[in-house]
Amino acid sequence: MSVIITILLGLASRKFSHLLNELVAKNAGDVIWAMMVYFGFRFLFVQKRLFLAILLSFLFSFGVEFSQLYQADWINQLRGTVVGALVLGKGFLTVDLFRYTTGIVLAAAMDKVTHRFFF
């Protein structure tokens, strides 16, 4: 459920960015994307320690960002599709690494707090 909610929030942050504070509008999409990645790994490895979901989230998110340095025609065609752009991005930005870090840390903190509260 958290993956679906974060996908919806991420899409809304892009669609309604004109209604958001400029700082939030610029950064929310990437932060929420990284949160979605974390929640996805957490769902897949629910019986494992939080550290595994955090580690895999960093590896995946940073891997996707660094893959944007590779500019072959075939992958650029994938990036030219809506789904490809949402998953693979379009161009490398160092600031995205900070945004991903923020999203993963926030998601892990939320996970830890809600786990304590509900379980």
**pLDDT one-digit tens code per residue, 45-68:** 999 999 999 999 999 999 999 999
Which domain, by its residues, includes 110?
2-118
C-alpha–C-alpha distance, residues 92 and 66, integer Å: 7
How high does pLDDT run on average in the chain?
91
Question: Which pLDDT does position 50 carry in this prediction?
Answer: 93
C-alpha–C-alpha distance, residues 117 and 76, integer Å: 44
Q: What is the mean pLDDT of residues 107-119?
A: 85
**Residue of higher predicted confidence among 59 and 18:** 59
Question: Which pLDDT does position 20 carry in this prediction?
Answer: 81
Q: Which pLDDT band, with edges at 50, 70 and 90, does 119 fall under?
A: low
